[in-house]
Structure 1
């Protein structure tokens, strides 16, 4: 399929109205022309944790959200993007539960990475673990299995509990490939257009490496998945938080990729009132990307911007965000922290709050995002100019919930009355319908306190000018009659 060069919405299945049926009505009633590029529905599957990211199966929809019929109903009007946690599956999945019941005699045993697949003796070696990019103190968990209760160590990259709820899959196993094929085939049957490969950077475990985006092994796996997706007419979007050079390699490999650098660069430009680093980046970045400012996790910092940022300046920017209510996700492994100890993995905050709830600054940020080449995604909290939900983060003990407020239909209607939201919707409509965005892009040389970006296609052209001192964003474009129009965002 050909992806639409229009704005996509990112939302949980229950975060805009309470369930999938309500989501469909909200989209049709209020945002039919807004998410013209599609809807990324964050995991709607039965899950045992991590707000959907510990799926039991991909063949069912969590009953409290609705059914596959509801997903298909949304798909009747919008291209749907769904996540596949290609690295792991839930401890509560029928596959791992069978493994717990029968141990190595389970028919599903080969799906999982027992430590004897990594270390011949089955005993972990700390010197090897020290080299790994860890997301928890140890990369494995111990589970009692079978009638005898034999304790078996199984690789678990993610998970806040011990033992973890998220069990890594052995992607070298033919059984795993058969299972992934079953999931992809099911997605095709449900009219899913795009699959995001969540946590794909962690799928290769190889001693002597960081066990993160291990080259060249990772490409063999990506090629296999891409061939499978291509055969079903499904587009792939690998999700990899890594050094920026990794994103460039993925682009060279023909993959759609996320622009995880842009959110920080835009924030930095607006806070420091300087376009220097942003424009320098825009002149070299690959164009085949999905752009975003906010998402269900946080604003990427390390390792995405390693080598691109001064950690002292980054710490000052992070501190400002914390003053504005943000909390932080930190790097676990000492080896992967900066030399001065800087260890911020992500800044968790609503983008609107991060900019001090300044309407003009926020609209300037969105205007820059929409003018940067790529398919723009807007997170539902950002669409409604939502502020930090600090109470929910404290109540749940999960820092990421600060930017995961669940909106009732009444709250959505109230948000739609805000001037900043109406201005954002007008901007999105312009981005979705103006043909120049399918043409040639240029970064226009400008003073350090300005951002100037332009698009041109045949008779259609538009130019964005952002004054970083006042945060005023102005678009000048040529209408269908050939007249130049000034549009204040």
Structure 2
């Protein structure tokens, strides 16, 4: 395997994007960690100081607590007053990168625009903005046309609604509360540019394009990641760059799609990393991870867990790339899913698939800590692997605090993803910050944020069940030595060329709590 520089390829033929800090970022809901935007900033400036260069604040728009945890805002340009103001967001952005979501594919069915369409139908000036079955298939759709449409949930992506007194089939890719927009129309672009303008004026410098893969709906295709999608993405990237922001594209799919998309945008997610790390640390098999390290995009945002589930489609074969194998064979993926369910004591099984609403076909709903059986040592090792892999590491707030599946919240809402969306009290945060597994993560994060070696060249070496992930910049080095079979690890780094041991597995518990 060749050494890998930390360079980020430029997006061709569009205005260049500004530089963004490459250190770790926190991912959090403002209401579930801190309580609002100002108190989230207080945590980052207080007990989490030095650990993060930035923060991805999950939807904080009006309302932040809709049917899809803020991904269905009625007004995407306004901070929910229960969470703060744009001035609070700008203060949060002082000295750090702030990322926020641009929900590209849909808007809330309760938005003022769609409510006007409900009342007035085609007489509404907003009517062209919203997709119906007839928008994409004006001559009608055959059974084959409908069966071809790709959707991350079972069933067809349509909901019967009355628009101006007429029953129509409205395109709703995700839920009936989220109505898809038609990016072929002026109205849709006026809406999206107003969102980008509001965010960038509020201090946001990285825009995460949520569900952008579903925007390019065209007859005769599967309506996912079509050529139109690429054109729409390019247009948003150009608009974002002109306003001083970079773009992160969120797409789950075959790993080759991520490699291809990475050549056309600023940043992509490395969604293959979490299942490959879980596979390695539950079997001792580093070979699939080793292969991925040799071909993955350098301009990636790395994660272990997020506000969604643990992606499986990202390492498997896909109907979207017929004939192309995945990074793991189907038998290994099935075994991995079962190990996650076993390690979580069956709680992830209760939150995944047909057992819970918000059904996704490609994710397991589980905290990463429970997916590893609450084994502190292996859990910290997983985080270390993430931090040493090239890219911008993002750490989800539940993962940072080594959170367990929230079965009470799941019981209250019936939404599978809520097992990994705990609402932390101040006392719970304080208690979690005192745990060895959390202290160890913060030590590693502060190293990743400040050490100059991470701005240099990455040298991975994998032999059997052991690996050494090493960064060098001049005389400065930082390296992780690990054994995937035993969970043993050690982190070493230089200070002015003199090596020291930063962290070892003896600093955290060696078995599940």
TM range (shorter): over 0.9
> What do the CA deviations read for 1:381-414 (whole angstroms, capped 9, x no partner)?
0111111111211221011000100111111011
> What do the CA deviations read for 1:216-247 (whole angstroms, capped 9, x no partner)?
22221111111101110111001001111111
Q: Which residue, out of 302, 305, 327, partners 1:308?
A: 327
CA displacement at 1:197 relative to structure 2:
0.3
Q: Distance in 1 between the 2:402 and 2:68 partners? A: 24
CA displacement at 1:311 relative to structure 2:
1.5
Q: Distance in 2 between the 1:285 and 1:470 partners? A: 26
Q: Aligned residue for 2:190?
A: 178
CA displacement at 1:304 relative to structure 2:
4.9
TM-score calculated relative to the size of structure 1: 0.92
Aligned Cα root-mean-square deviation (Å): 1.6
**1:488 correspondence with 2:503:** yes
Q: Distance in 2 between the 1:254 and 1:348 partners? A: 28
Q: What stretches of structure 1 move > 6 A for 4+ residues in a row?
A: none
Q: Distance in 2 between the 1:234 and 1:43 partners? A: 17
Q: Aligned residue for 1:35?
A: 52
Q: Distance in 1 between the 2:254 and 2:444 partners? A: 32
CA displacement at 1:329 relative to structure 2:
4.5
Q: Distance in 2 between the 1:21 and 1:475 partners? A: 34
Q: Distance in 2 between the 1:370 and 1:14 partners? A: 26
Alignment length, in residue pairs? 467
Kindly indicate whether the alpha-carbon contact (under 8 Å) linking 1:140 and 1:155 is maintained by their aligned counterparts in 2: yes
Q: 1:478 to 1:29 in 2, by over 3 A?
A: closer
> What do the CA deviations read for 1:2-37 (whole angstroms, capped 9, x no partner)?
11110000001201122223222222221121122x
- The within-5 A match list for 1:307-386 is 307-323=326-342, 324=344, 325-327=347-349, 329-330=352-353, 345-386=362-403
Q: Aligned residue for 1:281?
A: 292
Q: 1:449 to 1:280 in 2, by over 3 A?
A: same
CA displacement at 1:115 relative to structure 2:
2.3
Kindly indicate whether the alpha-carbon contact (under 8 Å) linking 1:87 and 1:200 is maintained by their aligned counterparts in 2: yes
Q: Distance in 1 between the 2:158 and 2:498 partners? A: 63
- The within-5 A match list for 1:195-206 is 195-206=207-218
Q: Aligned residue for 2:271?
A: 260
CA displacement at 1:453 relative to structure 2:
1.0
Q: Aligned residue for 2:476?
A: 460
Which structure 1 residue ranges, 5 or more long, are not aligned? 332-342
Q: Aligned residue for 2:157?
A: 139
Kindly indicate whether the alpha-carbon contact (under 8 Å) linking 1:196 and 1:237 is maintained by their aligned counterparts in 2: yes
**1:473 correspondence with 2:489:** yes
Q: Aligned residue for 1:295?
A: 306
Q: 1:186 to 1:178 in 2, by over 3 A?
A: same
3-state SS, counterpart of residue 51 of structure 1:
coil
Kindly indicate whether the alpha-carbon contact (under 8 Å) linking 1:45 and 1:57 is maintained by their aligned counterparts in 2: yes
Q: Distance in 2 between the 1:135 and 1:309 partners? A: 20
Q: Aligned residue for 1:423?
A: 440
Which structure 2 residue ranges, 5 or more long, are not aligned? 1-17, 318-325, 355-359, 505-513
**1:10 correspondence with 2:4:** no
TM-score calculated relative to the size of structure 2: 0.88
